[in-house]
Amino acid sequence: MDFDPRVRLEFRGTQISSDGGLLVMRELDDALGLSNLASASLRDNRIGRNTVHRLDGLFRQSVFGRLAGYGDVNDADRLALDPVMRQVVGGRAVDAQAASASQMGRFETETLALPENRAALADLNGRWIDRFHGCCHVNSSS
C-alpha cells in the first residue's frame, strides 16, 4: 500500500496538534476509499451557500473526530483550526478551516438523519467489508 509522499510532518511551535496519528488513518482511508464510498452513498440536503465543505469532508471530520477521541461535535470549533484535522477533512479546509460545531451539528442531525441516509449508513459496514476484500488479500489460513 502506498502513502502520499506529499504529506510531511513539520514541527512548528505555533501550529501544533495532538492528533498526528490521524494522518496515517487518512492515508489508509484514501487507499481503501472508505470515506469516498460512504459519502457517495449519502444524499446531500444542503442548498445554496450552505456547502462550504464537501460531504466527504464532513463525513471524514465526523468519523476521524471520533477516532481521535472526541465523542461529539462540541470540540469541532477547536478542531476546525487544528492543522491535522484540516488535512484530514481536505478541500477548502486545508487552507482555511474545517467545519464548525454548528456545521457539524447540522450535518449529523439533519443530513445523516435523512431516512435514505440512515439506510445507506446501515448498509455501509457490509460495503466496506466488500471493498476491503476486493482490494486486499486476506490470509485466512492463520
List, for residues 94-111, the tens digit of each pLDDT value. 888 899 999 999 999 999
Is 3 inside a domain boundary?
Answer: no
- Cross-strand pairs, 15: 12
Question: Is there a domain that residue 14 lies in?
Answer: no
Domain that holds residue 40: 21-135
pTM for the predicted model, two decimal places: 0.79
Position 35 in a domain: yes
Q: What is the pLDDT of residues 6-48, one digit of tens each?
A: 655 555 555 666 777 788 888 888 888 899 999 999 999 888 7
Paired with 111 in beta bridges are none
- DSSP type of residue 134: H
Total of domains in the chain:
1
Q: In 3-state terms, what secondary structure has residue 124?
A: helix
